[in-house]
A and B are shown apart, each in its own frame.
Chain A
Amino acid sequence: RKEVEQDPGPFNVPEGATVAFNCTYSNSASQSFFWYRQDCRKEPKLLMSVYSSGNEDGRFTAQLNRASQYISLLIRDSKLSDSATYLCVVNMGQGGKLIFGQGTELSVKP
């Protein structure tokens, strides 16, 4: 079983749509959780951290369920500029290594 597994993509959605990505992790000792965004042929960049209480940043909402070892990312009112690969990331502890999922590709069409 992979340490971090994401929905297989790609997701093709029209502008304005709401899209949700799901992710599960295998190690219950995982301490912190993130979503990174990676544009085509670019490096990953932090999109947002994920907290147990859930957190929102504009059109983006992240949720964490520690009991189910499940992380989600919701994007509302999708924009063309949201087209990218979204990477679910788990950290085993402060200063520890990041474990990346395989990524879910999103393509937003006009």
Chain B
Amino acid sequence: EAGVAQSPRYKIIEKRQSVAFWCNPISGHATLYWYQQILGQGPKLLIQFQNNGVVDDSQLPKDRFSAERLKGVDSTLKIQPAKLEDSAVYLCASTVGGSYEQYFGPGTRLTVT
């Protein structure tokens, strides 16, 4: 079974530029999560989707971050404009509805200079 796919794996941008990350969850997984993991910290949830609807985006900095999952399958997370403090690994995870176990993708490592 294919795992959670993410791209790109690495991205370096200058502050104030825009960037987008893509995630394709495990087939059949209705719930998709985006996490931000800053070096030395645990992952922090940014947004949770159930199919194509947002369940929780309370920790998403909405002035600069946006995410969508239009067809209830893959998802895009965008940052515009980026700040230095956005340097982190952005992890996508998915789970079968009703399950506690989340499966993580390999992440996108973002460096903002």
Residues in chain A within 8 A of chain B (CB atoms): 4, 32, 34, 42-46, 49, 87, 89, 91, 94-95, 97-103
Contacts and interface: CB of A to CB of B under 8 A. Distances in A.
B66 interface: no
B106 A98 contact: no
B64 to A, nearest CB: 21
DSSP majority for the A interface? strand
B42 A34 contact: no
Contacts, number: 48
A34 B100 contact: yes
A43 B23 CA distance: 14
Interface of B: 31, 33, 40-45, 48, 50, 55-56, 91, 95, 97-102, 104-107
Given A43-B107, A49-B100, A95-B97, A100 B91 contact: no
Contacts of A46: 101-102
Contact of A100 (B42, B100, B105): B42
Given A87-B42, A97-B33, A42 B106 contact: yes
A29 to B, nearest CB: 15
Nearest to B41: A102
Contacts of A97: 33, 45, 48, 56
A43 B31 contact: no
Given A46-B102, A94-B100, 18 more contacts: A43-B91, A43-B104, A43-B107, A44-B43, A44-B104, A45-B104, A49-B100, A87-B43, A91-B100, A94-B98, A95-B98, A97-B33, A97-B48, A97-B56, A98-B45, A99-B45, A101-B42, A103-B40
Contacts of A103: 40-42
- Most chain A Cβ neighbours within 10 Å, of B99, B101, B105: B101
Nearest to A100: B42
B49 to A, nearest CB: 11
